[in-house]
Structure 1
Amino acid sequence: MMKLDFDDWNIHVGKPHPFNDRVKPIDNGTDRPDPARYHDPAFMAEEWDKVFARSWLLAGPASDIPEPGDFFTFEIGPENFIIVRGDDGAIHAHYNVCPHRGSRLVTSQFGSLDRFTCPFHSWKFDLEGHNIAVTDEETFRPEVLCHKHDLTSVRCEEAVGLIFLSMDSEIEPLHDWLAPILPQLELYQIDQMYVVQHRRSDWGSNWKGGVDAFAEIYHLHAVHPQTQCLMDDRTQIDLWSGGLSRQFVPFAQPAARYADQETVNPGIQMMLRDAGIDPATFNGTAAETRHAVQQAKRRRSDQLGLGYERFSDSQLSDSVVYSLFPNVQIGCHPEAIFLHRFVPHATDPNQFTYDTCILYRHVDAPGYGAPAWMGLGEDVDLSGATRPDIIHTKLGEPPCLGEVLDQDSELLPIVQAGARSRGFKGPLWSEQEGRLRHFHAELDRRMGKRP
């Protein structure tokens, strides 16, 4: 079996740093999984019960609910939850269901309330989920109200400024599950960031097709050839138990397969300017710009007191992308992160919702900002004073996520159609797709299909 020489890449990224240390490899075998997982309704139903109902699910950033009474709703599959900061300052998660007749309690995505009042019969609940008023309570037989009539709450825990919930009351603590990568995520100070852009888009594919596409960069040369002049696609991959993984995505240098390693092309010029380097005065080649960007950002950190000494060189120039089982990816940068969630459809295995948002930490200093390639326009409020609306593109509407993501949204329905063919016997993954095999191995373990 071919083994990529990632150690050579580690040397190339700059000074040795513990962050870049490779972890002990995990061998997930060479099996070819049944492609029914991408389209079979029975698999989808079993997957909901065994995977989503028993996993930690990323609900959203804690910055969305800074004050008591602030809430947002989180929808996944057939369920909808209220995530609220209680009067006690703690974060709570409740099914968005009134115990009386099943009505949704709130219909807005964000808000602030001192209590929840059912719109159907005006039963009232405090922020912690306790029933505090039953309308015309004297008309109920006492034996009826002896049944539990508080809100149904679920496990809810926070890590690095992100809120997770689980429908499984017996699940291991969140910090225990995230332990292998938690110190790494903490370096980015996500708890000091807030949402500056949030978009959703319905795609004609199974949610795992989305996970697969975003967990490898093997496809960049074919689907996104415009990226080859400014980002590499043969990089370090690390795997941990529990379905956790990461991959380095190097920016500001051409891919090794790209013919021109000399010309400082417009894309790389943008990244030089982003780091405070005037491309007109830069005398190096395209292959040397990544190191120059890293050093320029270190100088900026020294001038502004940003504390970038905690980062390795590659963290200053690259995207370090983490996968959190089952459906989350976090792309980390010192100034901003992006969250990708691949949300299963409630009933159709051939659809999912792609949810992506950018979180940013404001520093009031010249030249500081989110990476330019993230595409945050001048109209985007970076101050944190306003929480942006969620822009939702429905299935069949023209995509509006940006050139690269629009290419993915157009390709995945084609892949989904092929996955349903009798001629497709299941994926054959390369070592460059090691995160995909790792994800599906964890999926099969949760489904009881492997030890």
Structure 2
Amino acid sequence: MSEQVLDQQIAHGEARCPDEPTTQDIIASDKVGAPDWVRSESYEYLGSEDISTERYYDPEYAKKEYDTLWKRTWQFACREEHIPEPGDYYVYDLGRYSFIITRVSENDIRAYYNACLHRGTKLRASGTEGCTQEFKCSFHGWSWNLDGSLKQSTCEWDFPHVQADKFSLPQTRVETLAGFVFINMDQNAPSLEDYLGPEFMAHINSWGLENRYIQCHVSKLIPANWKLTMEAFMEAYHVIDTHPQVAVSNGDANSQYDVYGDHVNRFISPLGVLSPHLKGQYSEQDILDQFTVGDASVLGDIDRTLAEGESARQRMADTMRAMFEQATNTDLSRVSDSELLDCFSYTLFPNTFVFPGISLPMVYRFRPDPKDHRMTIYEVFFLRPVPKDGERPDPAEPVYLDEVQSFTEAEGMDPGFGAILDQDTENLILQQQGIEASAKPGLTLGNYQEIRVRHFEMTVDKYVSGQSVSGQ
């Protein structure tokens, strides 16, 4: 059927990969059924107009983002395990902004603007964490207590105009969720729960992420705008050309895309099935072989011979269940095949991705480089279960990579996954340069497979232009 005829018969946004099962069809055939949060769908057609490109390179647009978007949104600043005891602190930077996240007492976490109220010196250097009973300026010695109250001003006699009870460190809003610490500079912002919405809250409350810790943390500088960098991870449309080594066992064009309010979207990309782009070229045995051997393997060498009528997806789910049960000494018989296998990716606006799957729970965070809005600080956090003895390990120290280093060089990074991240990010410098060189003033998006990109940029537009957003 020609694209022209297809376009006449199917309304915009309703088209799906022709003659192929949907993600929900694939999941419905699994031996161990999936929970409601997996089986739900929430797609909405949001238009077919181009997305303007000046947002990726115009310094004035970046300034508007700092003045509007970043000052009004909830952002993942650190994990609770970064500040487990009173006096522990963690510095979170966002462009020109900097915050000290500290635990004042067991149930009291605060975030202070990281600047001395005397002459503005940072109270703690960027990228630092530790434990203290005061925040003291290295320049003139002014200090503040853990609760933000002024402790001491050097030569107090010379500052009769400073009233101690009005000289406490300014704070942002702070809320915690599933072990994450979020901050918001807007004192009138909605609660984090209202901001993320009831659908997502129902999802995240079933994942148990509060019982995980950061086992690996890698940070890399990417030569592209923060939004462009995020969008490289929002769709599976790129898999067939960018990650051909995994396409044999990745149902890229089968993937499901969902949007929730203004601040959350997701995809579910099914694994253990052949890419529709390769239909007829590989067998079920080939799919299993690709997934279990070679550089792209996640399971290493196992028995790879399928029984007659057995699917690669089911063997992979059974194998992963057995592997994780042994590794964690946990009964996973009721955990769905989909949760063990598939890639679940949630965007929490503005700059965080959460991947809650059993096999590869991780978090991505994206921040604009304060020196160049066309550069991004991209971070990957791998989350692992807290040991059975309940003793929570310290979070891993971050590994910093510059823009020319490979993710495979990072200690703790699986080389196969590092190679995939390299493929994702190597395109970005060409995309940033191409957008700036192009005569075309907009990006053209697919109505379904790139709906997360459109949804994300529509929310960016709402903040920058001062429109209302859901949850507020």
What TM-score, normalized by structure 2, do the two folds share?
Answer: 0.83
| CA positional deviation for 1:335 | 5.5
From 142, 145, 148, the equivalent of 1:126 is 145
Helix, strand or coil for the counterpart of 1:257? helix
Identify which of 291, 294, 304 aligns with 2:317.
294
- The amino acid across from 2:77 in the alignment is A
Aligned to 1:60: 78
Q: Please say which of residues 394-403 and 298-307 is displaced more in the overlay.
A: 298-307
Instruction: Provide the residue aligned with 2:435 in structure 1.
Output: 419
The equivalent of 1:404 in structure 2 is 420
In structure 2, the CA distance between the partners of 1:318 and 1:36, relative to structure 1 (3 Å rule), is: same
The answer to whether residue 275 in structure 2 is matched with residue 261 in structure 1 is: no
Structure 1 distance, partners of 2:220, 2:331, is: 36
Distance, in Å, in 2 between the alignment partners of 1:215 and 1:89 is 35
Counting matched residue pairs gives 433
Closer/same/farther in 2, CA of residues 80 and 307 from structure 1, 3 Å limit: farther
In structure 1, how many angstroms separate the alpha carbons of the residues matched to 2:259 and 2:331?
28
Q: Does 1:95 align with 2:86?
A: no
Per the TM alignment, residue 101 of structure 1 is displaced from its structure 2 partner at its CA by 1.1
How big is the shift at 1:436?
Answer: 0.6
Structure 2: distance between partners of 1:231 and 1:384: 34
Question: For residues 41-440 of structure 1, what are the structure 2 equivalents within 5 Å?
Answer: 41-107=59-125, 109-141=128-160, 143-145=161-163, 148-178=166-196, 179-234=198-253, 235-258=255-278, 259-262=281-284, 263-264=286-287, 266-269=289-292, 278-280=302-304, 282-283=306-307, 288-296=311-319, 306=330, 308=332, 311-334=335-358, 336-363=360-387, 385-397=393-405, 400=409, 402-430=418-446, 431-440=448-457
What does the per-residue CA deviation read over 1:11-37, in whole Å, with 9 as the maximum and x for residues that have no partner? 212236422333343231122122101
1:294 deviation in Å?
A: 2.7
Deviations 1:382-408 (CA, angstroms, capped at 9, x unpaired): x85343221112234555462111122
Task: Work out whether residues 265 and 346 of structure 2, in 8 Å CA contact, stay in contact via their aligned partners in 1.
Answer: yes
What residue in structure 2 maps to residue 377 of structure 1? none
Contact 2:173 2:186 survives alignment (8 Å):
yes
* C-alpha contact (below 8 Å) 1:253/1:268 kept by paired residues: no
**Inter-partner Cα distance in structure 2 for 1:450 and 1:98:** 34
Q: Distance in 1 between matches of 2:137 and 2:164?
A: 20
Distance 2:297 2:361 in 1: 20
Amino acid at match of 2:401: T
For residue 411 of structure 1, report the CA deviation from its aligned partner: 1.2
Which segment is superposed worse, 270-279 or 1-10? Answer: 270-279
Greater shift in the superposed pair: 290-299 or 418-427: 290-299
Which piece of structure 1 moves more, 143-152 or 321-330? 143-152
What is the deviation of 1:91? 1.1
CA pair 437-119 structure 1, distance change in 2 beyond 3 A: same
The residue type paired with residue 248 of structure 1 is I
Shift of 1:425: 2.4
**Matches of 1:90 and 1:192, distance apart in 2:** 20
Please tell me the residue identity of whatever aligns with 2:372: D
Q: CA deviation at 1:277?
A: 9.2
Mark the CA change 1:297 to 1:363 in structure 2 (over 3 Å): closer, same or farther. Answer: farther
Cα 1:298–1:88, aligned 2, differ >3 Å: closer, same or farther? closer
CA-CA distance at 1:81 after TM superposition: 0.9
Whether the aligned pair in 2 keeps the contact of 1:269 and 1:279 (CA below 8 Å) is: no
What SS does the corresponding residue of 2:372 show, helix, strand or coil?
Answer: coil
2:157 match: secondary structure: helix
- Determine the structure 2 residue equivalent to 1:380: none
Give the Å deviation of 1:109. Answer: 1.8
Q: Distance in 1 between matches of 2:308 and 2:464?
A: 52
1:70–1:282 CA distance, 2 compared to 1 (3 A): farther
Query: Greater CA deviation, 153-162 or 273-282?
Result: 273-282
Q: Which amino acid aligns with 1:291?
A: Q
Q: Alignment identity in percent?
A: 26
The residue identity in structure 2 corresponding to 1:76 is L
Please say if residues 68 and 89 of structure 1, whose CA atoms lie closer than 8 Å, have aligned partners that are also in contact. Answer: no
TM-score normalised to structure 1 length: 0.87
Greater mean deviation of Cα atoms: 151-160 or 129-138: 129-138
Change beyond 3 A, Cα 1:183–1:438: same
Aligned residues: CA RMSD: 2.9
* Counterpart AA for 1:433: E
CA contact (8 A) 1:331 1:337 kept: yes
CA shift for structure 1 position 84: 0.9
- Measured after TM superposition, the shift of residue 261 of structure 1 is 2.9
Q: CA deviation at 1:78?
A: 0.8
Unpaired runs of 5+ residues, structure 2, are: 1-11, 411-417
2:57 equivalent among 33, 36, 39: 39
The answer for the alignment partner of 1:12 in structure 2 is: 26
1:283 Cα shift? 3.1
1:98-127 residue CA offsets vs partner (Å, 9 max, x unmatched): 111111111252211122121112222122
CA shift for structure 1 position 255:
1.9
Q: Confirm or deny: 8 A CA contact 2:81 2:395 kept in the other structure.
A: no
Which consecutive residues of structure 1, in runs of 5 or more, have no partner in the other structure?
366-382
**Structure 1 residues 284 and 59, CA gap change in structure 2 (3 angstroms):** farther
How many Å apart are 1:281 and its aligned residue? 5.3
* Alpha-carbon separation, structure 2, partners of 1:393 and 1:232: 31
Q: Give yes or no for contact 2:82–2:394 (8 Å, CA) kept in 1.
A: no
